[in-house]
Amino acid sequence: MSRKIRWLRPYIVYELTARTVDRQFLLKPNHHQMNPLLEQSCPLNALDPTNDVIPQSSIFNIIGAAVGRALDEHPIRLHWVEANISHFHIGFSFDREQLKNVAPFFQHVKSLIARAVNKTWDREGPVFGSRSRMHPCLDEGAAEKQLLYALTNPVKDGLVERVSKSPLFTTYHFQSKGEALRFWYIDYDAYYTAGGERKKSHRLKEYLKWVSWECTPLPEHEGMSRQQRQTWVRHRVREIEAACGEERQEAGMTFIGKAGLYAVNPRERPKTPKESGPEPLCHASDPKLAKQYKKEWRKFLDAFIEASADYRRGCFDREFPEGSFRPPLLTVYSS
């Protein structure tokens, strides 16, 4: 990463998109109307610690708990986490000390989501398909644009009319009103380590844990008060919702709505999937900044290729560019 670009902003914000395999609707809502943290058929008193009713996690809670658990293990700055029925968007940043946490954070959060989603839909195999798409936002305008894009993605895709009415996982209620991001999970590792079912006095409910986390303001919004940030989010989202509503009306189209999303088969996929366009190298509202980043990226690649070649030739103490990983080594045996 260019030193010049680092100096332009306190830290770089990245946006990441992860899609489900074959774009299946595996992240569709299935939570109880009265409690988004519980599956539809789960009794509402399941989270009461005084009874032995085992709670069943909703997709909404699965995503929130996975993010919270991964953050506890590998802290980074999270700016937004938004789910669609077949993919999710995450905005994040990190300082020098947190750089080592980025890869394990996403490995952890995707692993937790995948295992829980497979259990929910009684399926096997991978949940996420191709590699995640990740791009830096080089300036204030680009970061704000990606935040708003993620928040309003279900509206733009014709799934809901208002972000506030969306049953999909969203941090909008935290970003716009300050509602808590608090989720639960059962610590099965601790349960089985302590004896599991073999210990008759054991109660699985004793291993129900709660995890809370917050979204970090964008670098440019840190000078605002909490109320100012919330007002900014509400106003910008309403503008986009109004524009999308006008576009739907002109095209004679409607939206799926909450009931329609609940009725979706999680194993289905789009009949006419959108083709992914060319992947951008970065997001920038200033073309000059994007051009500068491209030059610095080329320098980074050249340095990595050179270091990789030396490493494979046996120079194992070779230093690599910051933020890159050493390539795997293949050992060949002959007899």
User: Long-range contacts: 290-299, Cβ < 8 Å, 24+?
Assistant: 290/138, 292/2, 292/4, 292/5, 293/2, 293/5, 293/136, 293/138, 296/1, 296/2, 296/4, 296/5
Q: Is residue 200 part of a domain?
A: yes
Q: Residue 156: which of 283, 29, 277, 242 has the closest Cα?
A: 242
> Phi-psi region for residue 196, left (φ > 0), alpha (ψ -120 to 50) or beta?
left
Is residue 323 assigned to a domain? no
Q: Give dist(CA 206, CA 209) in Å, integer.
A: 8
Provide the β-strand partners of residue 172: none
For the entire predicted model, the pTM comes to 0.90
Domain containing 21 — which CATH number?
A: 3.30.70.1290
Number of domains making up the chain: 1
Per-residue pLDDT of the chain (335 residues; tens, 9 = 90+): 333 444 345 579 999 999 999 999 999 999 999 999 999 999 999 999 999 999 999 999 999 999 999 999 999 999 999 999 999 999 999 988 998 999 999 999 999 999 999 999 999 999 998 889 999 999 999 999 999 999 999 999 999 999 999 999 999 999 999 999 999 999 999 999 888 888 777 889 999 999 999 999 999 899 999 999 999 999 999 999 999 999 999 999 999 999 999 999 999 998 877 777 788 999 999 899 999 999 999 999 999 999 999 998 889 899 998 878 888 877 766 66
**Spatial contact of 293 and 299, defined as CB atoms under 8 Å apart:** no
Domain that holds residue 112: 3-285
Instruction: Give domain status of residue 36, yes or no.
Output: yes
